[in-house]
């Protein structure tokens, strides 16, 4: 059974070749939907044999679903540019008769790393996600943030997708401030939701206590503490930024609310 691999990218020249090679172990075509990268992502992807579709970023799920308009196979395998198939997952996919499968999709465990260190706390493992699916029955939710595929008639299998999201502990703190918190803050602000002066602190405290004690960050040493602090800081910044926009017209006027994604 043939499989189409899909990847969405933005300035992923350091990752894209390895991501495509990983998919090509089980896929006979790879579609890259690129969000108008300014680096060499597109050129590298084409050199590696991928079909490249250039599309201004529409949001997480919507962008991934763009790829479904360009595939030629029934079954689709979706990964991000910083993800790789484990050897065990490759063997599972190769040995599975998808043509006769009673399922519409398969969910894999995502093994998240900081550098080369596998971190299992704070909800990072097992982080099940549907990534292999029939596109005539399943697709990504058309949401702009944190989209996923519903687990309708899907099977969870105990094989890992490797996720190298953070190159170092420093990345844990750079990414929330640069990408995630501002994006989320804009969504909250544009919804008209009011943030109170104590809201950022309450969300910081809740996220820290939940991840450090309830989700096992305390058991994972310095990486567990760093990850917990990063998640709490992201939560704090999200609401602190909304509060600042509500209170300070000068800061608000300098922000571009037309560009969120």
**Entry pTM:** 0.91
Q: pLDDT tens digit string along 59-103?
A: 899 999 999 999 999 999 999 999 999 999 999 999 999 999 999
- The pLDDT assigned to 144 comes to 82
Calculate what percentage of the chain has a pLDDT beyond 70: 97
- The pLDDT assigned to 179 comes to 67
- Give pLDDT < 70 ranges for the chain: 175-179, 260-261
Write down the CATH number for the domain with range 3-166: 3.90.550.10
- The pLDDT assigned to 205 comes to 98
Q: pLDDT tens digit string along 196-225?
A: 999 999 999 999 999 999 999 999 999 999
- The pLDDT assigned to 258 comes to 81
Work out whether the CA dihedral 118, 165, 159, 126 comes out positive or negative: positive
Domain ranges of the chain: 3-166, 169-253
HEC sequence for the chain: CCEEEEEEECCCCCCHHHHHHHHCCCCCEEEEEECCCCCCHHHHHHHCCCEEEECCCCCHHHHHHHHHHCCCCCEEEECCCCEEECHHHHHHHHHCCHHHCCCCEEEEEEEEEECCEECCCCCCCCEEEEEEEECCCCCCCCCCCCCCCCCCCEEEEEEEEEEEEECCHHHHHHHHHHHHHHHHHHHHHHCCCCCCCCHHHHHHHHHHHHHHHHCCHHHCHHHHHHHHHHHHHHHHHHHHHHHHHHHCHHHHHCCCCCCCC
- The pLDDT assigned to 261 comes to 63
- The pLDDT assigned to 178 comes to 54
- The pLDDT assigned to 59 comes to 87
- The pLDDT assigned to 176 comes to 55
- The pLDDT assigned to 11 comes to 94
- The pLDDT assigned to 249 comes to 94
């Amino acid at each position: 059974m043939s499989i189409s691999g899909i990847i969405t990218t933005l300035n992923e020249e350091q990752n894209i070749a390895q991501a495509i090679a990983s998919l090509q172990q089980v896929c006979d075509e790879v579609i890259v939907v690129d969000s108008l990268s300014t680096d060499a992502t597109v050129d590298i992807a084409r050199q590696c044999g991928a079909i490249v579709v250039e599309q201004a970023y529409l949001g997480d799920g919507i962008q991934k679903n763009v790829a479904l308009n360009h595939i030629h196979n029934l079954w689709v395998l979706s990964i991000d540019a910083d993800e790789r198939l484990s050897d065990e997952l490759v063997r599972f996919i190769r040995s599975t008769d998808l043509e006769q499968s009673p399922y519409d999709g398969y969910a894999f465990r995502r093994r998240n790393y900081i550098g080369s260190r596998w971190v299992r706390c704070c909800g990072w493992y097992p982080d099940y996600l549907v990534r292999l699916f029939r596109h005539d029955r399943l697709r990504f939710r058309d949401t702009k943030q944190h989209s996923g595929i519903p687990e309708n008639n899907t099977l969870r299998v105990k094989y890992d997708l490797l996720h190298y999201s953070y190159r170092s502990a420093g990345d844990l703190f750079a990414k929330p401030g640069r990408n995630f918190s501002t994006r989320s803050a804009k969504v909250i602000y544009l919804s008209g939701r009011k943030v109170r002066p104590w809201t950022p602190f309450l969300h910081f405290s809740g996220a820290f206590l939940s991840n450090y004690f309830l989700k096992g960050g305390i058991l994972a040493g310095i990486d567990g503490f760093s990850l917990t602090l990063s998640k709490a800081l992201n939560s704090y910044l999200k609401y602190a930024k909304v509060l600042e926009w509500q209170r300070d017209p000068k800061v608000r006027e300098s922000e571009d609310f037309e560009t969120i994604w």
